[in-house]
A = this chain, B = another copy of it.
Amino acid sequence: MTYSIKEVSEKTGLSIYTLRFYDKQGLLPFVARNSSGYRAFTDGDLSLIHTINCLKNTGMKIKTIRQYIDYVMQGPATIKQREAMLLAHRKTVEAQQRKIAENLQEIDYKLNVYQSPDAVATVTKEQQFVQQEKLANQLPNPYAQTILSK
């Protein structure tokens, strides 16, 4: 049993264009063709495409994914190299996660300000501070309206 590109598109959520693009980029050297030149995807192919998707979704570049796939196509001899690649990638993904978590905290801090009952007062105070700062350096007031009553 094999799948057409349309079926694979529906199963994976990748557009037909994207699948062909990946093939052109050398990400799908394992996908065979039938007698009419149509791509014939097997279940094993789907599993590899799933792996490709994982790497892509965690920010790995297509060139790097191709390197990984090339190793896979060379068989068990390249297990060490694959391990090294995934370990390196794992580190960048973890760093990415930490960064996102940090930034999310800052966003939450902002949200807390906006959701507090004193939001208007806090924001007004910030704005006044900025205006004083600009004034002190003889720079124009960047805000639409001036709120300067100390």
Contact = CB atoms under 8 A, between A and B. Distances in A.
Interface residues of A, number: 63
Number of copies: 2
A12 interface: no
Contacts of A6: none
Contacts of A140: 32
A14 interface: no
Name which of A2, A76, A143, A145 has the most chain B CB atoms within 10 A of its CB.
A76
Given A58-B107, A90-B104, A107-B55, A79 B120 contact: yes
Contact of A97 (B74, B79, B97, B124): B97
Contacts of A142: 29-32, 73
Nearest to A132: B44
A36 interface: no
Interface string A92-125: 0110110111011011101100110001100110
A67 interface: no
A51 interface: yes
B73 A110 contact: no
A100 B93 contact: yes
B130 A82 contact: no
A12 to B, nearest CB: 14
